[in-house]
């Protein structure tokens, strides 16, 4: 006898022993399907190994590999790279804001960092489908 059910509507498991409380409150989900204790354990084990539990076409729970959100990851990396590059020339920026003259070396460094930032900004993170091989900053 199994005691587990899965409801695609609530996106989770129910336990038969909790049925009276469900029925007294919102009601037992109409789409709840019985699953064996063994299948329940298989799903939980798969989830602990990084997979998602999702409903199949019949509303029964199955495991699905989690696909990395490469565009979102790339956008975060891009913003961090730009921030790090900006931080690397913060003293030079401060000198410019104070109206000081930059040395040739400082001017070259600033130009190189700005070129690098332009190169990084031109990467279309929305089109990324795997890890990005980011350009390296040359000094």
pLDDT of residue 39: 95
Res 59: pLDDT: 92
Confidence of residue 1 (pLDDT cuts 50, 70, 90): very low
Report the C-alpha gap between 6 and 68 in whole angstroms.
Answer: 26
pLDDT digit string (tens) for 25-82? 989 999 999 999 999 999 999 999 999 999 999 999 999 998 889 999 999 999 999 9
Tokens of 91: 């003293």
- Spatial contact of 52 and 66, defined as CB atoms under 8 Å apart: yes
Residue ranges covered by each domain of the chain: 4-65, 70-127
Phi, psi of 50 (to 5 degrees): 100, 10
- Mean pLDDT score across all residues of the chain: 92
pLDDT class of 2 with cuts at 50, 70, 90 = low
Whole-number pLDDT of residue 137: 85
């Amino acid at each position: 006898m199994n005691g587990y059910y899965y409801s695609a509507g609530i996106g989770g498991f129910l336990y038969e022993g909790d049925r009276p409380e469900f029925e007294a409150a919102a009601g037992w989900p109409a789409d709840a399907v019985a699953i064996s204790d063994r299948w329940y354990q298989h799903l939980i084990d798969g989830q602990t190994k990084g997979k998602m539990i999702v409903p199949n076409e019949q509303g029964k729970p199955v495991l699905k590999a989690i696909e990395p959100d490469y565009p979102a990851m790339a956008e975060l990396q891009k913003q961090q790279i730009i921030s790090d590059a900006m931080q690397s020339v913060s003293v030079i920026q401060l000198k410019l804001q104070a109206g000081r003259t930059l040395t040739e070396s400082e001017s070259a460094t600033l130009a190189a960092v700005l070129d690098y930032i332009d190169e990084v900004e031109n990467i279309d993170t929305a089109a990324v489908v795997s890890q990005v091989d980011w350009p390296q900053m040359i000094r």
